[in-house]
Amino acid sequence: MTKINAYRFGFFFFGFIVLTAVEPTFADRIWLENGDRISGEIARLADGKLTLHTPYAGDLTLEWKEIQSLETDKEIGVIAANGDRITGRFSRGENGEMALQSSLLGNIAIQKDGIAALVPPGEAGAPAELKTAQAEIQSLTKELGAAKQKAADLQDIGKLWSGGVSLLGGARMGNREAYNLFVKSEAKRTTETELLTLRGNFGYSESEGLVDTTEASLQSNLRIFYAKDRYVFGDLKLEHDRFKDMDLRVDGTLGAGYRFWKVERSELMGDLGFGLSEEIYRNGDSSTDASLRASIEYSQMLFEKSKLSQLLTVYPSVGDWGDVRLISETTFLTPISNSLSWTINLTDEFDSQPSREDVKNNDISIRTGLQYSF
């Protein structure tokens, strides 16, 4: 044999080996009960006989009872013994079961005896009942997804809000030597760029069986952070005090502030603003004055879970620098359970120019009670 003929023979021999050893990647595969495996393209199963197209032996007819398992590369129509129809791809199953992957029902296992026929996908059209069920499943899936998203949105909203409601009892010293009952509430909504604080207080006190005073206040404070620790704010506060004969005081302020630090157990913020203050009294008198507002808010965790907070707010008058109002509020809070805490509150209200001559400059309140947190 010449050298060229040897090379030619080797090339054809190598090609023959490759063609006979490598199966077509598109072929279906059938495993028989005796352990043999046959590759080809499944054409149809009818009357207990499976027809298989093969590139090397033409069409083969196999007894369905002799087949152990099969695997298909393409979808094929399946008609079950009870008349149900479905389309999917087979993968090799175990223990006499056929594993079928269906776009409608997902992965299911079918007993071999439960399969009556295999047909091309177009001939296995689902009956009207199955199509209706499929449409209902898709509709329910959409509704379930929408419900899950709504629940997630509600959960996210719940995480944004925190606060508590306190029922306190204590004594006042200064203008009112009396025992009082006080309801205090606060809610905060915190996002990455905003901090909204809502406060509401109501107080009632008696002295020797007579109503000494009722007082109430509502406050809304919105801080918008335009940089990491810098913010602008708007503050609106409404107050009523029967003892001071004041029907309503309205303080509205706009300004800017800075968060000096915020760490795991401590935070300090301060701001300065300009606004208007209007006071309306029971005798019909009223006054409107421009004022500044300076505020410092500090909180510190004590021990493991207890918290100490301090809020100091000063309202100096722009028209009369000797007219100054100051409110200092210190609160200590320690938890009793997950949502219930014991709290002590000390409030000092100072007014350099009170509304009446018989009203002292300072009013001090010491209160203690329980707070429900959310």
In a domain, 3, yes or no: no
pLDDT over 70 for what percent of the chain?
Answer: 83
Does residue 190 share a domain with residue 305?
Answer: yes
- Using DSSP, state whether 259 is helix, strand or coil: strand
| Structural domain span for residue 51 | 25-126
pLDDT tens track for 162-215: 899 999 988 877 766 667 788 999 999 998 899 999 999 998 876 655 555 678
At 3 the pLDDT is 46
- Using DSSP, state whether 344 is helix, strand or coil: strand
> Among 107, 126, 145, which residue terminates a domain?
126
Please tell me which residue, 124 or 214, carries the higher pLDDT value. 214
pLDDT tens track for 307-357: 999 999 999 988 777 889 899 999 999 999 989 999 999 999 898 888 777
Please tell me which residue, 7 or 341, carries the higher pLDDT value. 341
At 127 the pLDDT is 54
pLDDT band at 153 (very low <50, low <70, confident <90, very high): low
> Among 97, 126, 155, which residue terminates a domain?
126
In a domain, 137, yes or no: no
pLDDT band at 105 (very low <50, low <70, confident <90, very high): confident
Burial of 235 (0-12, 13-18, 19+ CB in 10 A): buried
At 250 the pLDDT is 94
Does residue 190 share a domain with residue 94?
Answer: no
Does residue 175 share a domain with residue 100?
Answer: no
Question: At 328, which CATH number?
Answer: 2.40.160.40
Does residue 173 share a domain with residue 312?
Answer: yes
CA–CA separation, 182 and 184 (whole Å):
6
Burial of 253 (0-12, 13-18, 19+ CB in 10 A): buried
Q: Say if residue 96's pLDDT is above 70.
A: no
Q: Mean pLDDT throughout 130-146?
A: 74
pLDDT band at 12 (very low <50, low <70, confident <90, very high): very low
Please tell me which residue, 45 or 131, carries the higher pLDDT value. 45
Average pLDDT, the chain: 83
At 192 the pLDDT is 86
User: What are the two backbone dihedrals, phi and then psi, of residue 362, each rounded to the nearest 5 degrees?
Assistant: -110, 140
CA–CA separation, 333 and 164 (whole Å):
11
The HSE-up count of residue 278 (CA atoms within 13 Å, CB side) is 8
Does residue 270 share a domain with residue 225?
Answer: yes
Does residue 333 share a domain with residue 206?
Answer: yes
Q: Say if residue 297's pLDDT is above 90.
A: yes
In a domain, 138, yes or no: no
Structurally, the chain folds into a number of domains equal to 2
Q: Say if residue 81's pLDDT is above 50.
A: yes
Does residue 294 share a domain with residue 170?
Answer: yes
At 9 the pLDDT is 46
Does residue 263 share a domain with residue 325?
Answer: yes
Does residue 70 share a domain with residue 169?
Answer: no
Q: Which amino acid is at 83?
A: G
Q: Mean pLDDT throughout 118-142?
A: 70
CA–CA separation, 63 and 287 (whole Å):
104
Q: Mean pLDDT throughout 279-305?
A: 90
- Other C-beta atoms closer than 10 Å to the C-beta of 140 total 10
Does residue 106 share a domain with residue 231?
Answer: no
Nearest to 181 by CA among 212, 149, 222: 212
Structure-token pair, residue 110: 């079918």
CA–CA separation, 221 and 255 (whole Å):
11
Q: Say if residue 14's pLDDT is above 50.
A: no
